[in-house]
Amino acid sequence: MKTRKNTKTAEPAIENGPVIAIRDLYKSFGDLHVLKGIDLDVNKGENVVVLGRSGTGKSVLIKIISGLLKADRGSVKVLGQEVGELDEKQLRELRMKIGFSFQNSALYDSMTVRENLEFPLVRNVKNLSRAEINKSVEEVLESVGLARTINQMPSELSGGQRKRIGIARTLIMNPDIMLYDEPTAGLDPTTCIEINELINEVKEKYHTSSILITHDLTCAKMTGDRLAMLLDGTFAKVGTFEEVFSTDDERIKSFYDYNFTENEV
């Protein structure tokens, strides 16, 4: 149960449409043509995994979706809003509905777990009582299975626990969309599986729609309702894990061979 569940408003513009809709998206840096005509929908309640080799433009795509980078051409609609047309204030409001889970978990080392979790809430939601803040913190910590760490410092936590706290810190804002950047990077196989399970639990419990960037094909298989394989600036294939990897495309086959290590899903 979420304290501020009713803050997630219905968006009439996207009620029956995708939560994220990308059409014919282009982005270059000088002569480097990174995205060359990307189309992708993320539907409500769906986890879409974006796969691709290093440097193919996965982070660029996420930055365009969140308005941190401007596209050269094309349309990116998030929750019904054309991101490229929003001013800074509108972008800030949109970003409040997006949870970012970064590779390094981005926790403040000098703050306790409780303080880390309170931080976005106190900064962004006005007039919350101490009791409401405490309740929100306790609920998200419970959701990620780490209630007992509330007074610990990030340095006292394992990599997997820090990752969970990072996810909790985004959940406290009750996001509609989660953007996970390499959620399992640097974790051992067992912890990877636990994080994958948490990502699936978050989807169910918080009704989020997500984009996950990963090289980890076990993660893709466990969490992805659909996968989108970014190759040479476009999505070479979009579909379920089985659909994407039952292919004659040598580039996709070699990506699979390099990246799949069986972690017993």
Please give the residue ranges that form the binding site for ligand ATP (CB under 6 A).
29, 32, 34, 52, 54-60
Closer by beta carbon to ligand ATP, 60 or else 157: 60
Closer by beta carbon to ligand ATP, 50 or else 144: 50
Q: How far is the CB of 229 from ligand ATP (least distance, A)?
A: 12
User: What backbone torsions phi and psi does residue 104 show, to the nearest 5 degrees?
Assistant: -95, 10
Identify the CA nearest to 202 among candidates 210, 212, 192.
210
Q: How far is the CB of 54 from ligand ATP (least distance, A)?
A: 3
Closer by beta carbon to ligand ATP, 29 or else 108: 29
Residue at 249: amino acid letter: D
Rounded Cα distance between 60 and 19, Å, is: 19
CA trace torsion 256, 167, 7, 123 (10° rounding): -130
Closer by beta carbon to ligand ATP, 57 or else 175: 57
Closer by beta carbon to ligand ATP, 34 or else 107: 34
- The alpha carbons of the chain give a radius of gyration, in whole angstroms, of 18
Q: How far is the CB of 244 from ligand ATP (least distance, A)?
A: 17
Q: How far is the CB of 160 from ligand ATP (least distance, A)?
A: 21
Q: How far is the CB of 55 from ligand ATP (least distance, A)?
A: 4
Rounded Cα distance between 261 and 265, Å, is: 11
Q: How far is the CB of 120 from ligand ATP (least distance, A)?
A: 24
Closer by beta carbon to ligand ATP, 1 or else 32: 32
Identify the CA nearest to 212 among candidates 167, 246, 152, 260.
167
| CB contact at 8 A, 220 and 25 | no
Identify the CA nearest to 210 among candidates 243, 191, 183.
183
